[in-house]
Amino acid sequence: MRLKDYYAPTLKNTPSAAGTASEQLAVRAGLVRKEAAGLYHLLPLGRRVLRRLEDISLKDMEREGYQEVMVTGGREAVGKLAAEIKSYKQLPLKLFTLDVDYRGNAKPSFSLSGSRGPLTLGMYHVGVKDPVSPIKHLKTFCHQIARKCAVKARWVGAPSGLDGARQALVLLAASEAGETGFVTCPGCGYTATVEAAEFSRPIPPAEPALPMEKVLTPGVRTMARLEEFLGVKESKTIKTLIYHVAYQDRVEPVGAMVAGERAVNEQKLAGVLGADSLRLATKEEAREVTGCSTGFSGPVGLKVRLIADPEITGMVNGVAGANEDDYHLINVNPGRDFGWHQMADIGMVREGDACPHCREPLQFARGTGLGRIALYGETWSKRSGAAITGEDGKEAPMELVFAELDLSRLGAVIIEQNHDGNGICWPAATAPFQVVLVQVKSNDAHHSAAAEALYRQLADRGYTVMLDDRDERAGSKFKDADLIGYPVRVVIGQALERGEVEVTARATGETRTVKLEEIVAAIEKIIPED
Among 3, 50, 170, 185, binds Zn ion (CB under 5 A): 185
The reply to whether 449 sits near Zn ion by the rule CB under 5 A is: no
Cα–Cα dist 184/351, whole Å: 10
Give me the least distance between CB of 5 and Zn ion, in Å please.
58
Closest distance to Zn ion from the beta carbon of 462 (Å): 47
Please say which residue, 158 or 232, places its beta carbon nearer to Zn ion. 158
Q: What are phi and psi of 262, to 5 degrees?
A: -65, 140
- Given 19, 74, 181, 187, the residue binding Zn ion (CB under 5 A): 187
Residue 305 vs residues 153, 245, 334, 345, 425: alpha-carbon distances, Å? 41, 11, 15, 16, 56
In the complex with Zn ion, the residue whose CB is nearer, 158 or 322, is 158
Q: Which stretch binds Zn ion (CB under 5 A): 299-307, 324-332, 345-353, 360-368?
A: 360-368
Q: Is the CB of residue 297 less than 8 Å from the CB of residue 287?
A: no
Number of residues that this document lists for the chain: 530
Q: State the nearest-atom distance from the C-beta of 63 to Zn ion, in Å.
A: 36
Question: 190 or 376, CB closer to Zn ion?
Answer: 190
Q: How far apart are CA 170 and CA 373, in angstroms?
A: 6
Contact stretch for Zn ion (CB under 5 A) within 90-98, 185-193, 400-408, 441-449 = 185-193
Size of the site for Zn ion (CB under 5 A): 8
Residue 352 lies near Zn ion (rule: CB under 5 A): no
Neighbour count for residue 114 (Cβ, 10 Å)? 18
| Binding to Zn ion in span 456-485, by CB under 5 A | none
User: Is residue 110 close enough to count as binding Zn ion by CB under 5 A?
Assistant: no
188 binds Zn ion (CB under 5 A): yes
The single residue among 357, 446, 456, 515 that binds Zn ion, judged by CB under 5 A, is 357
Of residues 120 and 193, the one with the C-beta less far from Zn ion? 193
d(C-alpha 27, C-alpha 20), whole Å: 11
Stretch that binds Zn ion, among 12-20, 25-33, 181-189, 253-261 (CB under 5 A): 181-189
Least spacing, CB of residue 311 vs Zn ion, in Å: 19
Least Cβ distance, residue 51 to Zn ion (angstroms): 42
Are 110 and 20 in contact, with CB atoms under 8 Å apart? yes
- Least distance (Å) from Zn ion to the CB of residue 193? 16
Residue 277: exposure state from Cβ atoms within 10 A (0-12, 13-18, ≥19):
exposed
| Cβ-Cβ contacts under 8 Å for 494 (sequence gap 6 or more) | 440
The Cα angle at residue 289 between residues 285 and 295, in degrees rounded to 5: 80
Distance CA 147, CA 481 (A): 24
Shortest spacing between CB 186 and Zn ion, in angstroms:
8
Side chain identity at 325, as an amino acid letter? D
Q: Which of 355, 387, 400, 431 binds Zn ion (CB under 5 A)?
A: 355
H/E stretch holding 243: strand 238-246
Query: Residue 97 or 191: which CB sits closer to Zn ion?
Result: 191
* H helices, E strands: number in the chain: 13, 28
Taking contact as CB under 5 A, which single stretch among the options 156-164, 187-195, 253-261, 285-293 is the one that binds Zn ion?
Answer: 187-195
Q: Which residue ranges make up the site for Zn ion (CB under 5 A)?
A: 185, 187-188, 190, 355, 357-358, 360
